[in-house]
Amino acid sequence: MPRNAGLIWIVEDDDAVARLIGSTLERYDFASERFDSGEALLRQLRQRTPGLCILDLGLPDMDGLELLRQIRAQHAFGLLILTGRGDTYDRVTGLELGADDYMVKPFEPRELIARVRSVLRRYQPALPGTQGEAPRVAAFAGWRFDSATHDLTSPAGQTETLSLAEATLLRRLLERPNQILSREQLLDGRNLDALDRSIDLRVSRLRKRLEENPQHARLIKTVYGAGYLFCAEVVWL
Ligand code: CA
């Protein structure tokens, strides 16, 4: 099936929003095509696939989560949900069904582009010689984390240096935000039994540093029975 890795599909029934997404993409040199219903997208998918699809959840003919499930049953290209629905249930279900990222409207054009690029990178084979140029500073929710020095700077500008264990965990979360990560993934699969509890311990230490109220965590959410979810827009600089 023909696959156009540079093409972005927009599934959005609201004309004004679709135009805004399309013009944002165009400004950053991405070609896009727009579909105003789930059925229109599924029809095209029988013939060709894009590099990435930006998917609204509130569609006139079907729920976007159902459309997502049908796409993922057959295709592996980038999927970014861009929706007015910001509740945890939709977010978690969308990510569980295989969306690569989740954004809530209204969107910041530059953030949309950063996330589009990040999803597209995930689907690209690694290029030789690019490892040394990986970005090392992550910005999220007003915080900054330098993955080389382990310095964590708060929105108020205070810097603390994290322990190696905390820094490693935070880096894993920041590398894959808005995805459910199991304890095993957070530990890299090593010595799971012994370290299972230590992950929870490290998470609670990180929460004490990052969260206003560690009992009601907003950044590092627990997904019961599954693991943890880092809920923030992360931009690597
Ligand atoms: Ca809609």
Domains of the chain, earliest start first: 3-122 (3.40.50.2300), 137-236 (1.10.10.10)
DSSP for 5-50, written as a single string: EEEEEEE-S-HHHHHHHHHHHHHTT-EEEEESSHHHHHHHHTT-EE
Residue 155: asked if its preceding bond is cis (omega within 30°), the reply is no
Residue 6 Cα to ligand 1 midpoint, Å, equals 25
Contacts of 65 (CB under 8 A, 6+ apart): 57, 90, 93, 94, 97
Residue 87 Cα to ligand 1 midpoint, Å, equals 16
Residue 63 Cα to ligand 1 midpoint, Å, equals 10
Residues 181-201: pLDDT tens digits? 988 788 755 544 555 567 888
Residue 121 Cα to ligand 1 midpoint, Å, equals 27
Residue 45 Cα to ligand 1 midpoint, Å, equals 20
Q: Tell me the whole-structure pTM to 2 decimals.
A: 0.57
- CA dist 53 and 80 (Å) reads 6
Q: What percent of the chain has pLDDT over 90?
A: 58
Length of the chain: 237
Residue 58 Cα to ligand 1 midpoint, Å, equals 4
Residues 212-236: pLDDT tens digits? 888 889 999 999 888 999 999 888 8
Residue 62 Cα to ligand 1 midpoint, Å, equals 10
Residues 90-104: pLDDT tens digits? 998 999 888 999 999
Residue 176 Cα to ligand 1 midpoint, Å, equals 27
The pLDDT value recorded for residue 129 is 47
Are β-strands 137-140 and 49-55 bridged in parallel, bridged antiparallel, or unpaired?
unpaired
Q: Which is nearest to 76 in space by CA: 122, 136, 130? A: 122
Residue 212 Cα to ligand 1 midpoint, Å, equals 33
Average pLDDT over residues 19-47: 95
Residue 55 Cα to ligand 1 midpoint, Å, equals 9
Residue 90 Cα to ligand 1 midpoint, Å, equals 14
Residue 12 Cα to ligand 1 midpoint, Å, equals 6
Residues 79-134: pLDDT tens digits? 999 999 989 899 989 998 889 999 999 999 999 999 999 898 888 755 444 454 56
Average pLDDT over residues 62-71: 95
- CA dist 20 and 10 (Å) reads 11
Confidence of residue 32 (pLDDT cuts 50, 70, 90): very high
Residue 14 Cα to ligand 1 midpoint, Å, equals 6
Q: What percent of the chain has pLDDT over 70?
A: 91
The pLDDT value recorded for residue 85 is 92
